Structure 1
Amino acid sequence: MAVAIRLAGADDAAIALAIDPAAATSAHRADWLRRAFAGEQGRGAQMAYLDGRPAGFAVMGRFFSNPFLDLIVTDPRFRRRGVASALLDEIERKHAAEKLFVSTNVSNAIMRALLLARGYLPAGQVDHLDPGDPELFFVRLPR
C-alpha cells in the first residue's frame, strides 16, 4: 500500500467531488471544491492515490497570512490506511518553517486525535459556524 501525493488542478475537481461524501449532499460544498481546485483565492489542492486509485485530497488556503489546511478528505473506502497522514506529511514538510493552522469540528474526534498525536497545539474555538458543533483551531509551530 503506497500512498502517492501530487499537486491537483481544476481538472481534478470531479475526482474530489466523487471522493467527498459532503459534496454529494451540499451544492455549496461542491461549488466551493470546484473553485478551490481552480485555485480561486490563492487556494491549492493535492490529490492522494493509494495503489494508483484516488483516495483523498487536501485543500490549502491562508489564515492571517499563515498556511491553513482548509479541508482534508479521505475516501470512506480507504480510511485508516494512511491517506490523511500522507497528505499531512507532505503539507507539514512544505510548511515546516511556518505556523500551520487547521480546524475541525468538536464532533470530529478522529481528526482531533490525529492532530494532537502529530504535535498540533490547541489554538482556539469558534462557535456558531455549525450549530451545536464548535470549530476547534489547532496550530503546528515551525520546526
Structure 2
Amino acid sequence: MEHLDEIGTIDQEVMGDSSRRQYILKAIQEKRCIIQQNEHGIAGFLIFTNDFFDNSFISLVIVKPSDRRKGVATALLDYYVGMAATSKIFSSTNQSNTTMHKVFETAEFIKCGYIENLDEGDPEIIYVKINYAEA
C-alpha cells in the first residue's frame, strides 16, 4: 500500500488518466502487484491473476517512460515467471503494440492466439510461456 500513489502516478503518466486506480488498489490489496525499483524509485509494475482458465495471466505491465528500454519489463516478466502459481503463464497485447511484442519475444513468450473485437480493428495477441521447472 505504501507504493500506491507512486504506482498510480506512473500509470496516469502512461495512460493519461487515473481510471485504473481502483483496479491497481485491488491488485495491491490482493498481493497481485509486483514492482521493479531502481535508485530513483519505482521503474515499473506488473499485475497478475491466477484465474485465466486455471492458469496464471499477466494482465498489465507498465514501465515509467523515463525507464523504458532498460530491461524493466523483461525483468518483471522473468521475476513473475519464477514465482507464478502455474506452469503456464499467459499474457496479451494489442497487435499494434510493437514494443510489447518485442518484450514478450525477449522474455521467450510464444504467440498462441488472438482475440478479435476487444479494441476495434486492433486484435489482442495472446502469448504463453511454459515454465518447465514447474511443469
Compute the TM-score of the two structures, normalised by the length of structure 2.
0.85
State the Cα deviation string for residues 70-114 of structure 1 (Å, max 9, x = none).
111100011111211211121121139600101111111011122
Residue 32 (structure 2) aligns with: 44
Tell me, in whole angstroms, the C-alpha distance in 2 between the residues paired with 1:120 and 1:61.
17
Residue 43 (structure 2) aligns with: 55
Structure 2 residue 17 is matched with structure 1 residue 25: yes
Any idea what SS the aligned residue of 2:117 has?
Answer: coil
Residue 34 (structure 1) aligns with: 25
2:7 to 13, 16, 41: 16
Any idea what SS the aligned residue of 1:107 has?
Answer: coil
Unaligned runs of 5+ in 1: 1-9
Tell me, in whole angstroms, the C-alpha distance in 2 between the residues paired with 1:38 and 1:23.
22
Cα offset for 1:11?
Answer: 3.4
RMSD: 1.9
Q: For the structure 1 residues 19 and 26, does the alpha-carbon distance in structure 2 shift closer, same or farther, using more than 3 Å as the test? A: closer
1:127 and 1:134 in contact (8 A); partners too:
yes
2:113 and 2:126 in contact (8 A); partners too:
yes
Cα offset for 1:24?
Answer: 4.0
Any idea what SS the aligned residue of 1:136 has?
Answer: strand
Percent of pairs with identical residues: 31
Q: For the structure 1 residues 14 and 89, does the alpha-carbon distance in structure 2 shift closer, same or farther, using more than 3 Å as the test? A: same
Unaligned runs of 5+ in 2: none
1:131 to 113, 116, 120: 120
Where in structure 1 do 4 or more consecutive aligned residues deviate above 4 Å? none
Residue 7 (structure 1) aligns with: none
Tell me, in whole angstroms, the C-alpha distance in 2 between the residues paired with 1:142 and 1:92.
7
